Structure 1
């Protein structure tokens, strides 16, 4: 990252919830193979719900999804090619048990060349994201 980057600049454009819903609906167009439809929906839901950047999402690895207090691991793996379209593989059985927290260690988050470097964070996934991932994985 360039040393002259101002990390205090905020995004001026973002997606509204109805725009995200439209993106998710497009995933189910007949032009996409059925096995890709739910996968793509799951990726969009995870990106939106957790607020991850693509660079962070492709680095998510085993052990970053947790069950809150019990800290039980959900497997969230990425394809070796690191293409967003082939990214998410979650263990269905663990999703059914209600695990819905994503742990992001500091090294995979965007770093800043100043004192704003991120610390590790745990984000709770929404019910909709958990349902979407579960639906996708159940149908594969």
Structure 2
């Protein structure tokens, strides 16, 4: 039953992320995707707490680990597709490592998410995400 709940949580969050429109500029799209994962309201805070509880269980339980890996693979695909769309729109020069950018951004989102759980009223925490997005954007523009 817990495996089912973990899978359902991932599917509902993934569906919400897939509904985020890919609009120029890429920075805005990436921020909208990130906002779907951050505990910025009560519903997302509950989802994030449950997700991290299951993720901790994945460290010792193969069934949970498989789900976590599957969910991460899907999220990485979404992020890479945003970078690909940005490249196709001319917002990023060709040749950027979309997989590395996706991994970096997802790591930042994870850190910001955990920090917001501990300090939900600390709006400065999101500055790290904004800095990462600005860095991605400036790398994309060739500066």
What is the TM-score with the length of structure 2 in the denominator?
A: 0.27
Larger relative contact order (CA 8 Å, sep ≥ 6)? 2
- Considering fraction of residues, name the structure with more helix: 2
- Considering fraction of residues, name the structure with more strand: 1
